[in-house]
Structures are given as structure tokens and as C-alpha cells.
């Protein structure tokens, strides 16, 4: 067996072994160390100590250190912390009802309000599960009581709650930047319009569906509508501060005031201020946020420790080169390559989640972009859109499970799945749109930071 | 007979420096007639740049193609091999010092004191690195005070001494940071690499000439155990290929740099200026402060400085006396 | 000693180890607050006083690095490391425990031992040359920072022993022993809560 073949065996074994359910970070690390032992094997060991003299062990340590000193990943704990603080600031119910009242003359006002709340809240917090469950407890009963069709209401929450991983500032894009060695600044700029476009298409879809079939979403009764002053006041104290916080964080990054890590730190500080403003800043909540941040950061970054070691060995054995050779021999057109890559990522999204797909599989495609002349930021945006589907594709649609988990017997899983389907179609439509008009992604970064040169 | 393969990682992912690394590798592979093959891996493929020397020391990599500034975290003296103060010499003469002026012995002494298991060859005399890309033309030392500037290594100490604010940034962030105003100025290396990086899209002022990094060169480093296990003729190939690449680099790169500078000027609207003499003089003063400070802290650093000074005084004394003023002749023909 | 007593003792040991991992992880968790304030301070002095610090970049990197590395055992003690559990979750507990038991021995310990043993060697190198960061003229020491790798490896190994014991108990009893209490993600909290007890939210102002 040649070294590159061993590398392919390594990848295949990983795909099978990961299904055994062992923590992925340590599975990756083990495959890296195991196959690395083979790659760095030099001589038949003569003594017991010789067994342990293999350079893979140093490589593992050096990669661990590289994750520790990676200045892009610094933004991850900071954004997580900001998210946990915002999530615990008792903000979401005010946000939702004020948006509902403000949008009450639109068809499907509750659904539009739920979508907007999800988008804003998930952008600030970045944690899909928290947004879907919180909104499941808040917006779903409100919609159900107003006589909304159940699967329609469920779809809105699941799809809306997933938007936060795309709309910047987003942790997913930081992870992508670290993987692809891209500029997080450019990635953020590139994601602004695709994120807004997708959110906009969701809203258009909701309104059009309700216009066609008003029974999906009955109008609120007059006695449920509070006075106008009340609505505007609520909007002012809930929607505005959170949106301002997001805008400040994003604006200071895109406006050149701060690097993403610095903006994330100021966002975390802003989150604390916001929580204080809502009178929900308790020592206990700060502690909770700190500890949750520690656990979540450890989860993401140990995944990097495992995957960088895995990738080093894979590359050392010539794995990347052989895959690249295969693909180049297939004589694909750039568009065929793009469709193939996105199809694979879409399929991986069934069993896996975004972090696993990004950290383990996307790096395999990245070295080929040059050959096909694909702009890496454009590819990144296709992937980012595509990863929305990893939350929404049954049978392993995590958004649906979160919602089912919190609604329990109030709804069947199959009803949630049915509600999700149109959004899946919208995501794919959005990808096609972006393929046709790459400027949706590329115009803003080029405008802000100068034309990208490969 | 099956040949030996050495895995060499370059600190470069593309651009002209990767071409330079490939050029060295090509020389070795062609001369060894299959008995020795270097397999060149691009930046970050096995370890990240900051870990390259450790990786070679431990044998995780057999070899690396980079610059000594990349292990300056282990000893400040590393920066004297290429990014140190300018004693009136260019990188050619610093390399002369390495080979014939006691530099190699000092390097070996340093490696022994750090306990590093590596063998290194130095080559590729880089022209002085431009002061860099600015928002407006630098006309005096006052202009740069308080400016947020991106550079690396001892150059950071020097420019800090001159009143600039030195900002640390990851490589990929430099261009967007410059455009958006996070930094006011930045430097990389040379017209070709800078142009590849797209700096002309975010700044139109390019200041050439500077003492902040005026004599850098590459280091090709091998794991010592691995190197010593090779047959003497293969060791010789690795060594003499480095010497050959020294000349090739200079011929190849100076032409490319000149061509790219003209493209920047003629086609991409970049205004090119020479850094004013008084700013350069201030750089020398700042270097004195930095060098004296570190010499006070680190006797070995001081010893290397003394050796360099003695060599430069001697060799440049002769060269300066002997060399005609090439600029005069240039002016005579091209105005 | 009856079987129940023995099991209770094993569980005590498991919980003691989990307590250690949790304590260390939480202690290093506070790095996030230092990180937040230090970085915000840097932005402030850079823009308002036009005088950036030379140390902020390295402080930022080291706080982040220490935070994630030293929380690794804490996350493991709380089963916080992501699993590809599409099939795993469908297995009976005994099967899950058996797989985990084998894979801890096969996948987990070799790597953690390498982090401990070889990480120690690399840290010792770093102490020998009193290694500093190359990021700035401040020359912040990094040998302490590198020493965290073997320490994290050791902590993870200790937590790994607790996981082995936990698997062993589950293989015998057919159910997973409880983990010690900890702060939980909102979604986990809400999903486990009896949501019918939650008062239906009403629009504010009513
Ligand atoms: Na999925
Ligand atoms: Na430079």
C-alpha cells in the first residue's frame, strides 16, 4: 500500500469510526496519532523505550500549541460569552412581542415577528439550540393560540433560529477563517448580504404563503393589541438595544475599528451592559455564562487539536494530493466541481453538524479551489448557506429536535419536518441565486477592503 | 538503489518565495540523480510557521525553508542573522560574514547553547525591504509619530523607539486592516510579494528604502541526525545547492522586483518615493538604542554584534573605497 | 462489603475526579473575563489615547489558549465533547458503555499520554531557552503557557480514568451513573423542564 492510499484508508476509517459515537475530538486525535505512528515509523524497535520514540508525539504537541496560539480562534470564547450573557438577559420575550405588535398589520404578523426575533436574537447569541428552545416556549404557544397551523409555526422557529450561524458576527465564520486561513473581516463582509437575503426570502415566503392561504395565520383580535405608545416603547427598549449591539460589533469590525476578536470582547462587554440595563445582571448569571463559555470553548477548540493533527498526518502521507489529483483528472468544469462539493456537504449535513463538517471535511476541498479558479470567499459563502441545511434536513435536523424537545406532546416531529421543507428549498434557491450573482457575496468585501487577490 | 526522501516544509504558501524554495529543491533533486529527493510541502501543511524549527529539531520535519526571524522567540540573536542592524553592509556581506567572518561558528555556538539538533545553510541575499505602504507620503520623522504600523521582529522594537505604534496582526488581516483604517501603514518584503498581497488596492503610497530590515536572507535548515546520516556527497549537494541558489535568487528576484515595481507605478497608480535621509538616519539612532539595550541584557548578543561590526568595518571599508558610485553612472545614462 | 457499597465507593471516586476537573475548568473559565476587559482596554487606549499597548495581543492569545486547554477535562467530565451520535444514541446503555470503555483505552489514553509525556519534554525545551513570544517587543514569556499542555494531558488522563470507571459501572448495571451537577445550556434546561408548568407568556402590558 502506498502512503497516499494509507491516507485514504485513514479518512474512510474515520468516517466509519466516528459513528461509534466516541467524542469526535479524541477520535480524530487517535486516528492522527495512530496513522502518524505509521507515517513516522522508521525502524523495528529494539527496546521497550524504542516503541515510544516516534515523532508523531511531538507533532501532536506542536499542533496543540498551534491551536493555543491561533489569534483567529481567540474570537470564539468571546463571542460565546457574549451569546450566553445576551441569552440570559431576559430580553427575548419583550423583543418578540414588541416586534409582533409592530408588524401586526402584515399578513402572518406573528410569524414575521418570530422570524425577525429569531434572526436578531440568534445573531447576537449565536447558539441555535438556545434560540429555538426559547422561541419554542414563547412564540410557538402564541402562534398556536392565535390559531396558526402547527407545522407552519414550527417551521418559522426552526428556520429562523438557524440564521444566527450565518448572519455576522457569527462563530461559524470565525471557525471557517481559521480552517481556510482566510480573513475573518472579509468573511464577515461577504456574509452580510447573503445573510440578509436569506432572512428576507424567509419573510417574503411567510407573507406570500399567508396571502395565498389566510387560514394558516389568522389576524390578532383587536382586544389583544396594546396601545400604540406601549408598542413603540417596547420596541425601543427591546429591539433597539440588541440591534445596536450587533450593529456596533459588526460595524467596528467592518469599519476598521477593531479586529473580530477585539469587537467580540467589546460585544461581550456590551452584553454585560445590556444585561445590567434589563436588570438581569446577577453574579449568578455571570458565573453561569463564564462556565458555559469554558465548556463550549473547550469543545470547539479540542476539535481543532484533533483535526489539525489528523490533517497534518493526512497531508504528510500525501492524502490531499491524491484527492486533488483525482478531482483534477475528472476534468470537471468549475461549476460541476462546485455542485459536486456542495452536494457532498449537503449530504454530510444529514448526520453531522456544522462544526464537524467545517473542521473535518471542508479542508479537503480547499486546496482544489485554486485549480478551478474559485474565489475562496465565494466558496465559503456557498458552504455557509449550505450549512443552514445541516440543521434542517431530516432525519437529523437538530433544530427540529430542539423544538420537539421543548414542545414535547404539543407537536409531532413529522409536523415539524413538514414545516421545515419550504425553508430547505429557500436555502437552495438562495445558493442558486448567489451562484448566478456572486456579487451578493463578493461586492461588499471588495468595496470595503480592496479587490481580493488570490 | 532506492533514494532518500526528505520532507521539507516551506514557510511560504505561494508567491515568489515559494518559487525560491522550489528552485533550491530542483537543484538538489537534479544534482543527486535520484539518490536524494526533497519533497517540498507548502506553509502550514505539517506544522504552523512558529513551530517549524522545533519540528525540524525533533525530526517531525526533515527540513524547513524559512528565515531566522521565525525562531527569534528562542533567542534575540536569531534576528542578527538577517534582520539585525545595518553596519553599512548589505545582505551579501552579511552572508560573507556567515561563511568567512566567523558567523557560522557563532551560529553553531548558539545552536549548541539552545540544544537544537539542526544544521543550517544561509542563502538568498534579499534587497533591503521597503519601509512600506502608507496613507500619505512620509517626509519627516514627525510624520510617522503615533502612526499604527505593522511589522515584525526587532524592526518592531526599532519603530516603537521612533514613536510609531506597532500593531500585531495576522498575515491575512493586513490588507483589510489597512483599508479599513485599523492600521495606518504596513510593510512586508518586496514589490513582488507586496503586489501579490494586493497592497496597491488599499494604499497608493509606497516608500522604498529603509534600515528596519535591510539585509535579510533565507535559512535552509535540516535535522542534524538526518543530515549526518546522508552520504558525504549528498551532504555536499545540499550545501552547494544552497550556494548556487544564492546567486540564482539574486538574479531571478531583482528582475522580478524591478518589473513588479514598474507595474505598480505604471499600471496600478502607485506613487513610489524614497524614504527621506533624515528618517533613515533616525532609524539608525533607534537601532543603536535597541542594540545597546539588548546587548546589556544578553552577552552573547553583544558578542555577535562585535563580530559583525568588526567584519563590516573591514570589508565595507574596502568596498566603499573601491566601488565607484554606481548611482552616478546610472544618472549619467538615465537621468 | 456488599456490592452496593462497593459501587457507591466507586461512584464517590468518580465524582471526586469529576469535581477536580470541574474545579480546574471553572477556575480557568474566569480567563474569559480577563480576556473581555483586557481586549476592551486595548481598543480604548488605541483609539481614545492613540497609544496601543505592546502586551494586549499576547495576553489575549494566552488567556484564550489557557481557557480552552484547561477546560478540556471539565468538558469531558460533563460529557460536553461533541459525539457523532446518530447511531450511538440508539444503542442500549450496556453497548454504549462497552464501546466507550474500549475506545477510551484505544483512542483516548495514547494521545493524552503523549500530551503529558512529550508535552513535558517540549515545555522543558521552552524553559531552557526561556522562550518568549515573537509577536511584540514586549517579549512576553511563553514557557509557562507551553507547560499547560502536559498539565492538561495529565488532567484529561485522570478524568479518563473516571470515565473508564463510569463505563464499567454502566456495563454492570445497565444504566449510566449520574454526573455531578453543573450549570447547563438553556436548551438542555428547557427540554428537561416540565414545560406544561411554564405560564403561557402574555404580551407585556396586559
Ligand atoms: Na443534520
Ligand atoms: Na518585512
Average pLDDT of C94-112?
95
pLDDT of the residue at C167: 95
Hey, are the CB atoms on C203 and A27 less than 8 Å from each other?
no
Across A356-383, average pLDDT: 89
Name every residue whose Cβ is closer than 8 Å to that of residue B136 and which is 6 or more positions away in sequence: B143, B205
A326 in reach of chain B (CB within 8 A): no
Residue A258 with chain C: CB contacts under 8 Å: 43
Mutate to test the interface with C, among A33, A129, A298, A303 (most CBs of C within 10 A): A298
Domain boundaries, given as residue ranges, for chain A: 3-449
ipTM attached to this prediction: 0.87
From A22, A134, A295, residue closest to C186, measured CB to CB: A134
Residue B256: phi and psi, rounded to 5, are -60, -45
Among residues B283, B272, B59, B261, the alpha carbon closest in space to that of B151 is found at B283
> Does residue A44 or residue A438 have the better pLDDT?
A438
Considering only CA atoms, which of A386, A374, A384 is closest in space to residue A438? A374
- Which residues of chain B lie closer than 8 angstroms to A66, CB-CB? 47-48, 50-51
Distance CA A100, CA A92 (A): 12
The answer to whether C129 contacts B166, with C-beta atoms less than 8 Å apart, is no
Cβ contacts of residue A169 below 8 Å, gap of 6+? A79, A123, A126, A188, A246, A249, A250, A253, A260, A263, A264, A267
Taking CB atoms and an 8 Å cutoff, what residues of chain A touch B170?
71-72
3-state secondary structure chain B: CCCEEEEEEECCCCHHHHHHHHHHHHHHHHHCCCCEEEEEECCCCCCCHHHHHHHHHHCCCCEEEECHHHHCCCCHHHHHCCCCCCCCCCHHHHHHHHHHCCHHHHHHHHHHHHCCCEEEEEECCCCCCCCEEECCCCCCHHHHCCCEEECCCHHHHHHHHCCCEECCCCHHHHHHHHHHCCCCEECCCCHHHHHHCCHHHCCCEEEECCCCCCCCCEEEEEEHHHHHCCCHHHHHHHHHHHHHHHHHHHHHHHHHHHHHHHHHHHCCCCEEEECCHHHHHHHHHHHHHHHHHHHHHCHHHHHHHHHHHHHHHHHHHHHHHHCCCHHHHHHHHHC
Contacts of B75 in chain C (CB under 8 A): 129
Predicted pLDDT at A118? 85
pLDDT in tens, A190-209: 999 999 999 999 999 999 99
CA distance A82 to A170: 11
CB of B72 less than 8 A from some CB of C: yes
State pLDDT tens for residues A131-158: 888 888 888 887 888 888 899 999 999 9
Instruction: Enumerate residues 52 to 111 of chain C having a beta carbon within 8 A of any beta carbon in chain A.
Output: 57, 60-61, 64-69, 71-72, 74-76, 78, 80-89, 91, 96, 99-100, 103, 106-108, 110-111
What pairs with residue B66 in β-bridges? B219
pLDDT tops 70 at residue C202: no
Across A228-322, where does the E strand assignment appear? none
Residues on chain B bordering chain A, Cβ-to-Cβ distance under 8 angstroms: 7, 13, 41, 44-48, 50-51, 54-55, 58-60, 169-170, 172-173, 175-177, 179-182, 196-198, 201-202
On whether the CB atoms of residues A88 and A280 are closer than 8 A, the answer is yes
**Can the peptide bond before residue B58 be classed as cis, meaning omega within 30 degrees of 0?**
no
Answer whether C132 sits within 8 Å of B152, measured CB to CB: no
Task: Please provide the size of chain A in residues.
Answer: 454
Distance of alpha carbon C52 from alpha carbon C46, whole angstroms: 4
Question: How is residue C53 annotated by DSSP?
Answer: -
The answer to whether residue C203 is domain-embedded is no
Which residues in chain B are closer than 8 Å to C125, comparing Cβ atoms? Answer: 54, 115
The confidence band for A454, taking pLDDT boundaries of 50, 70 and 90, is low
Closest to B158 in 3D by CA, of B225, B233, B210, B93: B210
pLDDT at A418 over 80: yes
Least reliable range by pLDDT among A28-37, A350-359, B69-78, B120-129: A350-359
Distance CA B148, CA B151 (A): 10
Please name the member of B45, B169, B175 whose beta carbon is closest to the beta carbon of A315.
B45
| A277 or B92, which is more confident | B92
Chain C, 36 to 75: residues with Cβ < 8 Å from chain B are: 46, 50-52, 54, 57
B60/A62 CB distance under 8 A: yes
Between B226 and A71, the more confident residue is B226
> Which residues in A lie closer than 8 A to residue B180 (C-beta atoms)?
185, 254-256, 448-449
Whether the per-residue pLDDT at A101 is higher than 60: the answer is yes
- Indicate yes or no: CB of A182 within 8 angstroms of CB of B172: yes
Nearest-Cα distance to chain A for B173, in Å, is 6
Least confident span in A342-351, B291-300, C17-26? A342-351
Q: Which grid cell sits at A318? A: 500525501
Q: How far apart are CA C90 and CA B224, in angstroms?
A: 53
Q: How many Å apart are CA B203 and CA B147, to the nearest integer? A: 15
**pLDDT winner (highest mean) among A15-24, A307-316, C108-117:** C108-117
Measure the CA–CA gap between A159 and A428, rounded to whole angstroms.
13
Radius of gyration for chain B, computed over Cα atoms and rounded to the nearest angstrom: 20
Q: State whether C134 and B114 contact (CB < 8 Å).
A: no
Domain-located, residue C202: no
pLDDT confidence tier of residue C201, bands split at 50, 70 and 90: very low
Q: Which residues pair with C132 in a beta bridge?
A: C141
Tell me if C205 is assigned to some domain. Answer: no
- Cβ contact A61–C183 (<8 Å): no
Element (H, E) at A290: helix A283-316
**How many whole angstroms from A148 Cα to the centroid of ligand 2?**
63
pLDDT at A224 over 70: no
Cα A15 to Cα A165, A171, A303, B47, B334: the distances in Å are 25, 25, 15, 24, 66
pTM of the full structure: 0.89
User: How many CB atoms are closer than 10 A to CB B115?
Assistant: 11
Interface-testing mutation among C148, C183, C198, C200, with chain A (most A C-beta atoms within 10 A): C183
Q: What is the largest CA-CA distance in chain C?
A: 71
Beta-bridge mates of residue B208: B274
The C-alpha torsion from B13 through B14 and B20 to B22, rounded to 10°, is 80
Q: Are A399 and A130 in contact (CB under 8 A)?
A: no
- Asked if A259 and B177 come within 8 Å (Cβ–Cβ), the reply is yes
Pick from B73, B114, B146: which is nearest to C142 by CB? B73
Distance between CA atoms of A68 and A74, rounded to whole angstroms? 9
- pLDDT higher than 50, residue C199: no
CB contact under 8 A, A23 and C81: yes
Confirm whether C204 is domain-assigned.
no
Nearest to A341 by CA among A390, A382, A297: A382
Based on the structure, what is the number of domains in chain C? 1
Which chains neighbour A (Cβ–Cβ under 8 Å, 3 or more pairs)? Answer: B, C
How remote is the CA of residue A354 from the centroid of ligand 1, in Å?
Answer: 8
- Closest Cα in chain A to B196: A453
Taken in order C106, C107, C108, C109, the sign of the CA dihedral is positive
- Under the banding of pLDDT at 50, 70 and 90, the label for residue C85 is confident
Cα(A448)–Cα(B179) distance, rounded to whole angstroms?
Answer: 7
In this predicted structure, the answer to whether residue C200 has a pLDDT above a threshold of 60 is: no
Nearest to A342 by CA among A322, A320, A372: A372
Distance from CA of C122 to the nearest CA of B (A): 9
Among all bound ligands, the one having the nearest atom to the CA of B153 is 2
Chain C residues near residue B112 by CB distance under 8 angstroms = none
Cβ atoms of B53 and B74 within 8 Å: the answer is yes
* Range A210-215 contact pairs with CB under 8 angstroms and sequence separation of 24 or more: A210/A107, A210/A108, A210/A111, A211/A107, A214/A107, A215/A149
Instruction: Residue B83: name the closest of B73, B74, B93, B91 by CA.
Output: B91
Nearest residue of chain A to residue C152 (CA atoms): A64
Q: Which of A294, A307, A347, A390 to mutate to test the interface with C (most CBs of C within 10 A)?
A: A294
Name the maximum alpha-carbon separation found in chain B: 66
Query: Do A81 and C80 count as a contact with CB atoms less than 8 A apart?
Result: no
Residue C132 DSSP label: B
φ, ψ of residue B133 to 5 degrees: the values are -105, 130
Of B73, B146, B166, the CB nearest to C137: B166
Q: What is the largest CA-CA distance in chain A?
A: 87
- Answer whether A60 sits within 8 Å of C115, measured CB to CB: yes
- Taking the C-alpha atoms of residue B241 and residue A53, their distance in angstroms, rounded to an integer, is 32
Q: Measured on CA atoms in the order C136, C140, C145, C146, is the torsion positive or negative?
A: positive
Q: Nearest chain B Cα to C140, which residue?
A: B73
The reply to whether C86 falls in a domain is: no
For residue C43, name the pLDDT band (cuts at 50, 70, 90).
confident
CB C21 within 8 A of CB C72: no
**Ligand whose nearest atom lies closest to the CA of A345:** 1
Answer yes or no: are the C-beta atoms of B76 and B84 closer than 8 Å.
no
Of B112 and A242, the structure prediction assigns the larger pLDDT to B112
Give me the pLDDT at residue A116, please: 87
Distance C57 CA to ligand 2 centre (A): 19
Rounded to 5 degrees, φ, ψ at B3 are -85, 170
> C120 contacts in A (CB within 8 Å)?
none
Q: Which domain holds residue C31?
A: 3-81+91-197
Give me the pLDDT at residue A37, please: 92
- Specify whether the CB–CB gap between B47 and B62 falls below 8 A: no
Residue C105: how many other CB atoms lie within 10 Å: 13
Nearest CB partner across the interface for B157, out of C129, C133, C137: C137
pLDDT the model gives residue A126: 77
DSSP A154-212: HHHHHHHHHGGGTSSS-HHHHHHHHHHT--HHHHHHHHHHHHHHHHHHHHHHHHHHHHH
Confidence of residue C66 (pLDDT cuts 50, 70, 90): very high
Query: Taking a C-beta distance cutoff of 8 angstroms, is the pair A114, A156 a contact?
Result: yes
Neighbouring chains to C with at least 3 Cβ pairs closer than 8 Å: A, B
Instruction: Give residue A72's pLDDT.
Output: 87
Decide if B198 and A185 are in contact by the 8 Å CB cutoff: no
Residue A226 pLDDT level (bands cut at 50, 70, 90):
low
Q: How far apart are CA A420 and CA C57, in angstroms?
A: 44
The pLDDT of residue B282: 96
Ligand located closest to A352 CA? 1
pLDDT surpasses 70 at C8: yes
Contact assessment for residue A13 and residue A27, using Cβ atoms and an 8 Å cutoff: no
**Residue ranges of chain B whose pLDDT lies below 70:** 1-2, 170-172
Strands (DSSP E) contained in chain C are none
What the block records as the C-alpha cell of B102 is: 566567523
The answer, yes or no, to whether residue C63 has pLDDT greater than 80, is yes
Distance in Å, CA B18 to ligand 2 centroid: 16
Q: Return left, alpha or beta for A408; rule: phi > 0 is left, psi -120 to 50 is alpha, else beta.
A: left
Amino acid at each position: 500500500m502506498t502512503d497516499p492510499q494509507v491516507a485514504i484508508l485513514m479518512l474512510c476509517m474515520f468516517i466509519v469510526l466516528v459513528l461509534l459515537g466516541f467524542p469526535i475530538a479524541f477520535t480524530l486525535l487517535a486516528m492522527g496519532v495512530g496513522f502518524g505512528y505509521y507515517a513516522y515509523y522508521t525502524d523495528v524497535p529494539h527496546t521497550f523505550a524504542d516503541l515510544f520514540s516516534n515523532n508523531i508525539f511531538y507533532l501532536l504537541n506542536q499542533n496543540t500549541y498551534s491551536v493555543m496560539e491561533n489569534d483567529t480562534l481567540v474570537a470564539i470564547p468571546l463571542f460565546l460569552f457574549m451569546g450566553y450573557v445576551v441569552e440570559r438577559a431576559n430580553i427575548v420575550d419583550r423583543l418578540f412581542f414588541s416586534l409582533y405588535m409592530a408588524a401586526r398589520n402584515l399578513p402572518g404578523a406573528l410569524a414575521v415577528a418570530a422570524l425577525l426575533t429569531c434572526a436578531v436574537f440568534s445573531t447576537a447569541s449565536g447558539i441555535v439550540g438556545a434560540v429555538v428552545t426559547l422561541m419554542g416556549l414563547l412564540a410557538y404557544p402564541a402562534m398556536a393560540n392565535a390559531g396558526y397551523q402547527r407545522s407552519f409555526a414550527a417551521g418559522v422557529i426552526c428556520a429562523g433560529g438557524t440564521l444566527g450561524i450565518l448572519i455576522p458576527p457569527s462563530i461559524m465564520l470565525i471557525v471557517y477563517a481559521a480552517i481556510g486561513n482566510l480573513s475573518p473581516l472579509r468573511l464577515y463582509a461577504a456574509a452580510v448580504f447573503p445573510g440578509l437575503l436569506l432572512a428576507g426570502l424567509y419573510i417574503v415566503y411567510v407573507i406570500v404563503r399567508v396571502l395565498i392561504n389566510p387560514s394558516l395565520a389568522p389576524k390578532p383580535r383587536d382586544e389583544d393589541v396594546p396601545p400604540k405608545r406601549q408598542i413603540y416603547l417596547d420596541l425601543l427598549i427591546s429591539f433597539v438595544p440588541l440591534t445596536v449591539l450587533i450593529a456596533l460589533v459588526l460595524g467596528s469590525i467592518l469599519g476598521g475599528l477593531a479586529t473580530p476578536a477585539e469587537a467580540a470582547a467589546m460585544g461581550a462587554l456590551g452584553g454585560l451592559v445590556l444585561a445590567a440595563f434589563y436588570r438581569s445582571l446577577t453574579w449568578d448569571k455571570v458565573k453561569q455564562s463564564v462556565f458555559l463559555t469554558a465548556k463550549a470553548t473547550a469543545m470547539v477548540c479540542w476539535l481543532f487539536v484533533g483535526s489539525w493533527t489528523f490533517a497534518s498526518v493526512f497531508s504528510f502521507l500525501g492524502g490531499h494530493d491524491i484527492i486533488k489529483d483525482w478531482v483534477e483528472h475528472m476534468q470537471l468544469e468549475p461549476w460541476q466541481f462546485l455542485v459536486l462539493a456542495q452536494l457532498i456537504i449537503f449530504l454530510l449535513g444529514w448526520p453531522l453538524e456544522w462544526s464537524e463538517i467545517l473542521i473535518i471535511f471542508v479542508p479537503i476541498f480547499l486546496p482544489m479551489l485554486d485549480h478551478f479558479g474559485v474565489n475562496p470567499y465565494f466558496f465559503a459563502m456557498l458552504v455557509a448557506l449550505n450549512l443552514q441545511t445541516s440543521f434542517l434536513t431530516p432525519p437529523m435536523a437538530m433544530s427540529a429536535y430542539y423544538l420537539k424537545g421543548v414542545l414535547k406532546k404539543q407537536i409531532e416531529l413529522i409536523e415539524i419536518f413538514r414545516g421545515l421543507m419550504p425553508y430547505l428549498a429557500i436555502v437552495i434557491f438562495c445558493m442558486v441565486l448567489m451562484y448566478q450573482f456572486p456579487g451578493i457575496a463578493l461586492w461588499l468585501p471588495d468595496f470595503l477592503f480592496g479587490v481580493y487577490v488570490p | 538503489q532506492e533514494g532518500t526522501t526528505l520532507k521539507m516544509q516551506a514557510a511560504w504558501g505561494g508567491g515568489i518565495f515559494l518559487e525560491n524554495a522550489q528552485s533550491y529543491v530542483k537543484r538538489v533533486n537534479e544534482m543527486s540523480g535520484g539518490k536524494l529527493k526533497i519533497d517540498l510541502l507548502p506553509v502550514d501543511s505539517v506544522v504552523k510557521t512558529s513551530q517549524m524549527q522545533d519540528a525540524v529539531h525533533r525530526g517531525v520535519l526533515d527540513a524547513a525553508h524559512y528565515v531566522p526571524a521565525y525562531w527569534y522567540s528562542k533567542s534575540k540573536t536569531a534576528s542578527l542573522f538577517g534582520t539585525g542592524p545595518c553596519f553599512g553592509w548589505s545582505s551579501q556581506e552579511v552572508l560573507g560574514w556567515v561563511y568567512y567572518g566567523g558567523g557560522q561558528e557563532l551560529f553553531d555556538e548558539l545552536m549548541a547553547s539552545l540544544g537544537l539538533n539542526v544544521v543550517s545553510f544561509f542563502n538568498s541575499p534579499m534587497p533591503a525591504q521597503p519601509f512600506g505602504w502608507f496613507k500619505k507620503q512620509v517626509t519627516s520623522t514627525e510624520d510617522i509619530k503615533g502612526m499604527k504600523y505593522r511589522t515584525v521582529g526587532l524592526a518592531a522594537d526599532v519603530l516603537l523607539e521612533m514613536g510609531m505604534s506597532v500593531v500585531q496582526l495576522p498575515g491575512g488581516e493586513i490588507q483589510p486592516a489597512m483599508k479599513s483604517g485599523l492600521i495606518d501603514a504596513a510593510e512586508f518584503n518586496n514589490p513582488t510579494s507586496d503586489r501579490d498581497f494586493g497592497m496597491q488596492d488599499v494604499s497608493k503610497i509606497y516608500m522604498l528604502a529603509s534600515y528596519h530590515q535591510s539585509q535579510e536572507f533565507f535559512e535552509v535548515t535540516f535535522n542534524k541526525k538526518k543530515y549526518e546520516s546522508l552520504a558525504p556527497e549528498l551532504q555536499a549537494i545540499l550545501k552547494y545547492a544552497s550556494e548556487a541558489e544564492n546567486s540564482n535568487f539574486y538574479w531571478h528576484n531583482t528582475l522580478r522586483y524591478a518589473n513588479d515595481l514598474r507595474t505598480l507605478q505604471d499600471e496600478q497608480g502607485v506613487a513610489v518615493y524614497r524614504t527621506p535621509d533624515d528618517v533613515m538616519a533616525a532609524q539608525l539612532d533607534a537601532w543603536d538604542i535597541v542594540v545597546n539595550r539588548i546587548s546589556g541584557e544578553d552577552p552573547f548578543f553583544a558578542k555577535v554584534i562585535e563580530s559583525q561590526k568588526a567584519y563590516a568595518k573591514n570589508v565595507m571599508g574596502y568596498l566603499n573605497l573601491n566601488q565607484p558610485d554606481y548611482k552616478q553612472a546610472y544618472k549619467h545614462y538615465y537621468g | 462489603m456488599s456490592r452496593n457499597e462497593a459501587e457507591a465507593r466507586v461512584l464517590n471516586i468518580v465524582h471526586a475526579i469529576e469535581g477536580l476537573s470541574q474545579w480546574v475548568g471553572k477556575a480557568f473559565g474566569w480567563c474569559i473575563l480577563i480576556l473581555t476587559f483586557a481586549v476592551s482596554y486595548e481598543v480604548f487606549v488605541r483609539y481614545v489615547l492613540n497609544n496601543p499597548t505592546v502586551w494586549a495581543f499576547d495576553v489575549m492569545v494566552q488567556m484564550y489558549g489557557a481557557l480552552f486547554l484547561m477546560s478540556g477535562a471539565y468538558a469531558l467530565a460533563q460529557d460536553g465533547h461533541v459525539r457523532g451520535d446518530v447511531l450511538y444514541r440508539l444503542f442500549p446503555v450496556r453497548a454504549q458503555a462497552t464501546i466507550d470503555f474500549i475506545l477510551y483505552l484505544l483512542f483516548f489514553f495514547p494521545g493524552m499520554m503523549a500530551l503529558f509525556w512529550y508535552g513535558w519534554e517540549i515545555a522543558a525545551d521552552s524553559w531552557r531557552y526561556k522562550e518568549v513570544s515573537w509577536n511584540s517587543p514586549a517579549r512576553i514569556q511563553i514557557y509557562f503557557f507551553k507547560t499547560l499542555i502536559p498539565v492538561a494531558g495529565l488532567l484529561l488522563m485522570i478524568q479518563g480514568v473516571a470515565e473508564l470507571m463510569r463505563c464499567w459501572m454502566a456495563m454492570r448495571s445497565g444504566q449510566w451513573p449520574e454526573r455531578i451537577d453543573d450549570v447547563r445550556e438553556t436548551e438542555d434546561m428547557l427540554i428537561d423542564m416540565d414545560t406544561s408548568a411554564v405560564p403561557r407568556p402574555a404580551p407585556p402590558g396586559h
